[in-house]
Amino acid sequence: MVVLAIAAGTATLIWQKELPPISPPAADSFERGLVKHGEALAQLGGCVACHTAPNGKALTGGRKLQTPFGMVISNNLTPEPWSGLGGWSLAAFVRAMREGVSRDGHFLYPAFPYDYFTNASDTDLAALYAYLMSRPPIVAQAPVDRLDWPFAHRQLLAAWNLFFLRKGPKDDGGPDRGRALAEGLAHCGACHTPRNRWGAARSDRAYDGAWVDDWYAPALNARSPAARPWTEEDLFTYLRTGLSAVHAAAAGPMAEVTRALAAAPEADVRAIAGYFARLMAAAPATDKKAPAVVDRRNEADQAHPEGAALFGGACSSCHEAGAPMLLQGRPSLAVSTALRIDAPHNALHVIAHGLAAPAGHAGPDMPAFHADFTDRQLAEIAQYLRARYTLLPPWPNPEQAAEHVRQGADEQRVEAP
Amino acid sequence: MITLTVNGSRHEIDADPDTPLLYVLRGELALNGAKFGCGLGQCGSCTVLIDDRPVFSCLVPLAAVGEKKVRTIEGLGSKGKPGALAAAFEDEQAAQCGYCIAGMIMRAQALLEHNSTPTEDELRRHMAANLCRCGTHMRILSAVRRAAVTMGGGVKQEGTP
């Protein structure tokens, strides 16, 4: 009897029922205001970033996402009946966003961050649905995911959900819109919160900073490594434009995020900025006694003469004090967060692969230097920068990191010139 | 003294290790094909090949070159005997003022040596790093397509924007 009950219980967990397909609603059947709101939320959530293949049509999926458990490939979100969301009712969409279950009943992988989206309000989900269902339908069948054994067995996700999914919604339309968005549709923690060995967010270490592929997403709480305090205004400008003259230019996955946020509603981005400025209010940089930004040129020149020569020939025409680029409002290396985190990967990524100017800026672009330097030379430059612009100890194994960054150049990356 | 291998010849250079390669090519070795445009790695008129990969020579310090092999446009042919790309640029009349052309040719050379049959999209992405102030980009692309054929390959027209 007990065995039967457990079996029945497990069965209901493992087999989710298919929700009946609908015929795709007409694009103009949704209220225009709702669609507009949904469009803005799609920007906040950055849907396009994962659900668009390199050079593919927006939202048609097919982007490969490498996870520690194998390759997950994003789905087509346009309302095409066979390969996309055309047959999805609002109920099916809400179930996917809140519970990670596809319309036909199969489990979705948490690379699709439903553990965050679950917190979004009913109103926001309805708006997002209206927006997606009013896009032009495009046929685009996503290739099959390539998960490592045993993760190809989606039923395992029933256990994952049982342990790790705290089903929402948490957003009750309360006053802290920034928090609701950060923990919901904007899913900031998906990159900035470390995950446990099962790939679930560690709520005890929210926003402590985490690895995403071979980029490090820095801490967004009292452990923020920033050289200067992040104010709400600084963060707002950074999130909106990808550039803060007193902090940083967004790079790597965050550059994509800021491109999406540029088109998101201003008030929502401001709310997110306010939320994280409050979380970082006790960061070391806010300490009045904290050392001001440093430029220890002589010490660094002596400690890393090769790095100094390479920097002098390759970097100084843009990055030395008084260089034309700095007069155009680009941040000094002395405030770079990339130089203050515990691993050199972010700095090496930017040196090796360059950085396209943020949206709305004609230039300058940071050129890619991977063809110019050996791994050892890249490491020398990184150590030189660390010694010159921070008071922190040298990085361990920068050459190994350089080799890794060079090889791991994401096939989907659009390289700066 | 720093030893530099350019177009197959070795040179002893007396210069600081942070001197940009471009200054040595033009100032010491009289290889004036590569041009100084912006000095900031934004325009590409200084493009040369290091170990067969295109680089902005205005931003390559001598210290970074070491034993690697440098190739400039002078190594691809001469006025009387132009290389495939130079001939194609002439046939397509791809130059207006000509300042960017040596850099364009070197960047295209790297592409076609690496991939003799690039797609149109690959061609455009690869060449995007080099700018032409006169606006002859369309003729430059035609010239690279023509050279791809004379070099035994060709640009595939799939993926044309």
Q: Is the pLDDT of residue A170 over 80?
A: no
- Mean of per-residue pLDDT scores for chain B: 95
Any domain includes A266: no
Any domain includes A251: no
pLDDT for A142: 87
Q: Which two tokens stand for residue B65?
A: 């070159």
Any domain includes A328: yes
State the residue for tokens 């390199």: A54
Task: Choose the final residue of a domain: A164, A188, A209.
Answer: A164
CB proximity A363 to B under 8 Å: yes
CB proximity A143 to B under 8 Å: no
CB proximity A105 to B under 8 Å: no
Whole-number percent of chain A with pLDDT over 70: 94
Neighbours of A119 (CB within 10 A): 24
State the DSSP string of B22-81: HHHHHHTT---SS--S-SSSSS-TTEEEETTEEEEGGG-BHHHHTTPEEE-GGGT--SSS
Contact check, Cβ <8 Å, A367/B19: no
How many domains are there within chain A? 2
pLDDT tens readout for residues A22-59: 999 999 999 999 999 999 999 999 999 999 998 899 99
Segment B20-42 shows an average pLDDT of 97
Any domain includes A271: no
Q: Is the pLDDT of residue A417 over 60?
A: no
pLDDT tens readout for residues A74-111: 999 999 999 999 999 999 999 999 999 999 999 999 99
pLDDT for A414: 37
Stronger pLDDT, A154 or A7, i.e. the higher one: A154
**Domain CATH for A359:** 1.10.760.10
CB proximity A312 to B under 8 Å: yes
pLDDT for B22: 98
Contact check, Cβ <8 Å, A313/B39: no
Element holding A97 (H helix, E strand): helix A90-99
In whole angstroms, give the CA distance from residue A34 to residue A81: 22
Which SS3 state, helix, strand or coil, does residue A77 take?
coil
pLDDT for A412: 35
Contact check, Cβ <8 Å, A417/B16: no
**8 A C-beta contact, residue A120 and residue A97:** yes
Any domain includes A108: yes
Cα angle vertex B42, ends A257, B129, to 5°? 75
Residues of A in contact with B60 (CB under 8 A): 313-314, 372
Which SS3 state, helix, strand or coil, does residue A201 take?
strand
- Mean of per-residue pLDDT scores for chain A: 91
Omega before residue A21 within 30° of 0, cis: no
Residue pairs spanning A and B at CB distance below 8 A: 69
Any domain includes A194: no
Q: What pTM was estimated for this model as a whole?
A: 0.90
Any domain includes A254: no
Contact check, Cβ <8 Å, B63/A364: no
Highest mean pLDDT among A156-160, A211-215, A218-222: A218-222
pLDDT for A4: 62
Across-strand partners of A147? A70
Q: What is the 3-state secondary structure (H, E, C) of B84-116?
A: HHHHHHHHCCCCCCCCCHHHHHHHHHHHHHHCC
CB proximity B12 to A under 8 Å: no
Across the interface, of A309, A324, A365, the residue whose CB is closest to B61 is A309
Structural domains in chain B, CATH included, are 2-75 (3.10.20.30), 84-150 (1.10.150.120)
- Domain enclosing residue A380, as ranges: 297-407
Any domain includes A124: yes
Across the interface, of B16, B42, B50, the residue whose CB is closest to A372 is B50
pLDDT for A416: 37
